[in-house]
Structure 1
């Protein structure tokens, strides 16, 4: 049975998750993402547990009853604002640079990381979220550092094992349709989808987003038009659109050079034109907790069969 049917939807229904990444990264992230969760304008967020504002994000999420998962983090990309592993009870030297922080890019993770250390850090990040009081709705991955997109060396088997043990669905598309990636990667996506299925981990049908950085000449109106275009071309099944909606304040401008796009994304899903497009298209917003329920129901049935 396909995912949409497991969620009680029909064959032509378009189900949409809108997820805000990088919750807990900084105060600007928390302010922006919390405002959208509180307005029920988005479905969910994912928290970066190695970052200093993670406790505030989790406290807010628990109080609000929001869908929040764990943004598995193995990179630290901003020059003046860094973070490192949660793991404390063992050495994870393959995951850090000379200063003890995660590397700035995914390629370094793929080239250097030891799978056992990756597994230990995944468990530590999920357990920190739980220790802070969160019942995670799902897991995904910051900057795609575990997907193997830079070198072909991925850590998805490690991810699937951890997600199966914690009962969490994972952000992985069943097809690369709409992602703008080379067609030759489609067999890789299919093989990894089969591996997720074998592990009992629920994944998405499709995963879409807008470019992270503001292109020359882009305006809020053009970004809004692009998002409406995505919404109007959604396919049947379950799609996630992920965004980075931050408050564009002095803190954010000190941390990152492409802050403007994040400020724009904060406005999108409360914009009447975007909300109108969702309504006109008959798109149904769902949460990651719906996928978690489906995964745990099936895994529970399997355990009873044993």
Structure 2
């Protein structure tokens, strides 16, 4: 199935004096701005068809592509015929399925800590954290962006499969590459009415990173809601 992400850039806030990032982006105070986002394009034929249908016939307005996966060429061909599609890169550092696996774009010799004994990306985020270095993560992030560009995919944004790039060990590299390449990165740093509980003790770090991204001239969203759906 697909994961449909509702990215909320403006909701009513309890502190009337709080200025949201949506307002900083020019939306009037009190306006609700919602981006409906689909992950996992490129993972399979079904995920591609689901993403296409969600954008063309549904409410989705944005999606992101898993560059290490086998069905990326199919979606890349779709983008050539539909260049107006808001398509980003779903930076993929894990390979979670039992019988369908993928490895790093950079190759095992370049990022050995990102791969298991079979040469695939680790199943779980915890394994990535235990074995990979920030340098390896940055190398793979850059490789996935370069691969997209080589296929004619110009990413509108970056986000993170299974949230791996959001881990405190890796988030600085994720943000660094986005700022350097001037590609918006998914980060929630406003009122966080929905995602705030998940951020927990990392909230101050998230807020400071959001300010860094904003000062670099890239947009920031206020909140994030995730909901699983069927393809």
Matches within 5 A, 1:141-152: 141-148=160-167
The structure carrying a bigger helix percent of its residues is 1
Secondary structure, counterpart of 1:110 in structure 2:
helix
* Divergent runs of 4+, >6 A: none
**CA gap 1:30/1:170 in 2 versus in 1, 3 angstroms:** same
**Conservation of the 8 A alpha-carbon contact between 2:22 and 2:221:** no
Tell me whether 1:262 sits opposite 2:230 in the alignment.
yes
Equivalents in 1 of 2:94, 2:181: separation in Å? 22
CA contact (8 A) 2:114 2:122 kept: yes
Give me the CA root mean square deviation.
2.0
**Larger of the two Rg values belongs to structure:** 1
The TM-score with structure 1 as length reference comes to: 0.64
The aligned residue for residue 154 of structure 1 is 169
Distance 1:144 1:112 in 2: 16
Match in the other structure for 1:98:
117
Please state if 1:190 is matched with 2:207: yes
Alignment partner of 1:39 is 2:57: yes
Quote how far apart the aligned CAs of 1:84 are.
0.8
- Work out the CA distance in 2 between the residues paired with 1:155 and 1:68: 23
Alpha-carbon displacement from aligned partner over 1:13-36 (angstroms, at most 9, x marks no partner): 111111100000001101111112
* Structure 2 gap segments, 5+ residues each: 1-18
The number of aligned residues is: 210
Cα displacement string for residues 74-102 of structure 1 (whole angstroms, at most 9, x for unaligned residues) = 00000000001011495210110000100
Q: Compute the displacement of 1:2 (Å).
A: 5.3
**TM-score, normalising length: structure 2:** 0.83
Query: Which of 179, 194, 202 does residue 164 from structure 1 map onto?
Result: 179
Alignment partners' CA distance in 2, 1:158 and 1:17 = 25
| Structure 1 unaligned regions, length at least 5 | 213-260, 264-306
The aligned residue for residue 89 of structure 2 is 70
